[in-house]
């Protein structure tokens, strides 16, 4: 007999959220839950067969929101619980009458640079999420802090299926023109102001004088693509920095890194941190999102302040200076993630939330 019927509801996603939902759905089904997935058409493409379409809009179009609400209303009959991922899916589910039992996962907080003029209104809705849901899941202690004092908020770190590289490391490095005697940094990120890649370029510029064989590979796409390429050229980094563009999976590139670098100003995850650690790669990351929850500085990775290129460059140089210690750091990170932050741990913690709500 199934544990219960759960509807997983997503909004538009091209990044980590859809991968977290796919992994959670697979794990829950294996544990006996009857799980249906719904969201914009194709949102789970390449990860999981999507069960239903709910056209959650990217913006705040009233007609788009009404259409999404109608589609969602047609799916909830007989569902024991709706698990919404994100602000708009959460409020869409909360607007139904009668309101279903509702769990909302907050993957990202409202950022001014992303939300623009809508930020104050969206921040108001964000702050009220715990009052309209039975339970709220924060993906990091930083997200949970946003809801300090609210009832029913629990922190569950994100997880996805472990990355599986498909090519030998030497082949991947050669494909990007990286020699065996060069030191490769890999950043896999959306090219967006949130990721603060200009700071990373400044850090690499500082590194060149100490490490003339250092290389940076940037994997991803986004609205900052042209500006980042221009900044790289301005710093004279054309021979040092390679922009790889989007790839189906960055597992090959992450596995080929001497150090995986994460320069974000703010994160809830980021999921790439967990992927790098699962691959046993040394990580240098800003102390954002789940990073301080997962990384013990100097043991399972390096943590540096946000927006400090000098500190970032120093941390990378320290890791590259001692390959034996870097390997040990990567292996310690792998063990820590496998023990406490894998998909099984995420599903078990989520299952406990479901049972509490259904009780």
Q: Are 96 and 54 in contact (CB under 8 A)?
A: no
List C-alpha distances in Å: 73 to 66, 99, 133, 136, 195: 10, 10, 17, 21, 36
Instruction: Name the percent of the chain lying above pLDDT 70.
Output: 99
pLDDT for the residue 118: 83
pLDDT for the residue 115: 64
Q: What is the pLDDT of residues 221-277, one digit of tens each?
A: 999 999 999 999 999 999 999 999 999 889 999 999 999 999 999 887 788 999 999
Q: Which residues contact 294 (CB under 8 A, 6 or more apart)?
A: 157, 273, 274, 277, 300, 301, 336, 337, 341
pLDDT for the residue 270: 85
Question: How is residue 102 written in tokens?
Answer: 């509702």
pLDDT for the residue 242: 98
Q: Are 198 and 228 in contact (CB under 8 A)?
A: yes
Q: Are 87 and 94 in contact (CB under 8 A)?
A: no
Element (H, E) at 303: strand 302-304
pLDDT for the residue 1: 47
pLDDT for the residue 15: 72
* Residue ranges of the chain whose pLDDT lies below 70: 1-2, 113-115
pLDDT for the residue 142: 85
What domains can you pick out in the chain, each with its CATH number?
Answer: 5-159+342-358 (3.40.50.2000), 169-340 (3.40.50.2000)
Q: Cα(280)–Cα(288) distance, rounded to whole angstroms?
A: 20
Q: Strands (DSSP E) along 46-197, which ranges? A: 52-53, 81-85, 102-106, 135-138, 153-155, 183-188
pLDDT for the residue 293: 84
Instruction: Name the percent of the chain lying above pLDDT 90.
Output: 81
């Amino acid at each position: 007999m199934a544990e219960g019927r759960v509807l997983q509801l997503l909004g538009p996603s091209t990044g980590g959220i859809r991968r977290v939902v796919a992994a959670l759905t697979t794990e829950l089904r294996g544990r006996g839950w009857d799980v249906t997935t719904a969201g914009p058409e194709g949102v789970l493409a390449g990860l999981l067969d999507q069960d239903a379409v709910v056209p959650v809009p990217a913006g705040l179009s009233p007609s788009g929101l009404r259409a999404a609400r109608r589609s969602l209303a047609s799916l909830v009959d007989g569902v024991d619980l709706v698990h919404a991922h994100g602000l708009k899916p959460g409020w869409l589910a909360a607007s139904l009458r009668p309101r279903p039992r509702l769990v909302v996962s907050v993957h990202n907080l409202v950022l001014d640079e992303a939300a623009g003029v809508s930020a104050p209104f969206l921040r108001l809705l964000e702050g009220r999420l715990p009052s309209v849901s039975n339970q709220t899941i924060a993906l990091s202690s930083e997200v949970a802090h946003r809801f300090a004092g609210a009832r029913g908020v629990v922190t569950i770190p994100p997880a996805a299926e472990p990355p599986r590289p498909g090519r030998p490391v030497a082949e991947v490095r050669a494909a990007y023109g990286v020699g065996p005697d060069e030191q490769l940094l890999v950043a896999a990120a959306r090219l967006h102001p949130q990721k603060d890649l200009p700071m990373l370029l400044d850090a690499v510029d500082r590194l060149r004088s100490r490490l003339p064989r250092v290389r940076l590979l940037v994997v991803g796409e986004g609205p900052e693509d042209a500006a980042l390429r221009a900044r790289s050229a301005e710093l004279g980094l054309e021979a040092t920095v390679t922009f790889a563009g989007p790839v189906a999976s960055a597992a090959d590139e992450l596995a080929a890194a001497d150090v995986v670098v994460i320069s974000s100003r703010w994160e809830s995850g980021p999921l790439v941190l967990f992927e790098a650690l699962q691959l046993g790669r040394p990580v240098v990351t800003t102390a954002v999102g789940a990073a301080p929850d997962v990384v013990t500085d100097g043991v399972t990775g390096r943590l540096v302040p946000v927006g400090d290129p000098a500190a970032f460059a120093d941390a990378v140089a320290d890791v590259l200076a001692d390959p034996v210690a870097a390997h040990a750091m990567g292996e310690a990170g792998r063990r820590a993630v496998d023990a406490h932050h894998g998909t099984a741990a995420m599903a078990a913690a989520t299952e406990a939330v479901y049972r509490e709500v259904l009780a």
